[in-house]
């Protein structure tokens, strides 16, 4: 079961995870990650844009790669686009597997790819204006470990 979405409005991680758990009743464990807009560095808002012809198909391909690489029963990958306020959820990734190691590794793998090799552009609004956000060196290192 793969559930990949681009969302223009907020979401409830709790409700999404409850539905995901119900859809994967045979799994022994579900790991998840919720990424939120950090309020540090004077961030007033975050704006995420994407290239629609690539973003959703790319996320679906990433979810399928996680399913193939790890022994999973399901993958959920939801990502927000548009304007977000500090503390708002940006991304929800979950993986259902018979064993915890596969679900934990799959969430880590998926997030590393979304963070560094995805089809999103991010900019933060601070007191002095808008600033584009680029992946950090650590983000590229995190991605490279999966090769």
Q: What is the pLDDT along the chain (147 residues), one digit of tens a residue?
A: 999 999 999 999 999 999 999 999 999 999 999 999 988 889 999 999 999 889 999 999 999 999 999 999 999 999 999 999 999 999 999 999 999 999 999 999 999 999 887 789 999 999 999 999 888 888 888 888 998
Specify the pLDDT at position 134. Answer: 85
pTM of the model as a whole: 0.93
Specify the pLDDT at position 13. Answer: 96
Query: Can you tell me the distance from the alpha carbon of 138 to that of 143, in angstroms, rounded to the nearest whole number?
Result: 9
For residue 77, give every residue at least 6 positions away whose Cβ sits within 8 Å of its Cβ, in sequence order, or none: 3, 4, 5, 59, 62, 63, 91, 92, 93, 110, 114
Specify the pLDDT at position 113. Answer: 93
141 in helix, strand or coil? helix
Q: What are phi and psi of 139, to 5 degrees?
A: -60, -40
| The token pair that represents 56 in the structure block | 């959703």
If you write DSSP's letter for every residue of 78-117 in order, what string do you get? EEE-EEE-TT-EEEEEEEEESSHHHHHHHHHHHHHHHHHS
Specify the pLDDT at position 97. Answer: 97
- How many angstroms separate the Cα of 138 from the Cα of each of 67, 89, 131? 25, 22, 20
CATH of the domain at 116: 3.90.1170.40
Q: What are the start-end ranges of the H helices in the chain? A: 13-23, 52-69, 100-116, 137-144
Q: Are 17 and 29 within 8 A, CB to CB?
A: no
Range of the domain at 84: 2-144
Q: How many domains does the chain have?
A: 1
């Amino acid at each position: 079961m793969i559930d990949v979405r681009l969302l223009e409005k907020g979401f409830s991680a709790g409700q999404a995870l409850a539905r995901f758990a119900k859809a994967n009743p045979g799994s022994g464990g579900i790991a998840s990650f919720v990424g939120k807009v950090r309020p540090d560095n004077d961030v007033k808002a975050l704006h995420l844009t994407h290239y629609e012809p690539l973003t959703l198909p790319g996320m679906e391909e990433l979810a399928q790669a996680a399913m193939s690489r790890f022994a999973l029963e399901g993958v959920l990958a939801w990502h927000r686009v548009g304007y977000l306020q500090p503390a708002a959820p940006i991304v929800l990734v979950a993986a259902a597997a018979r064993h915890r190691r596969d679900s934990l590794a799959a969430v880590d793998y998926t997030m590393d790819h979304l963070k560094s090799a995805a089809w999103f552009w991010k900019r933060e609004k601070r007191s002095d204006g808008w600033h584009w956000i680029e992946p950090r060196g650590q983000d590229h290192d995190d991605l490279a470990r999966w090769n």
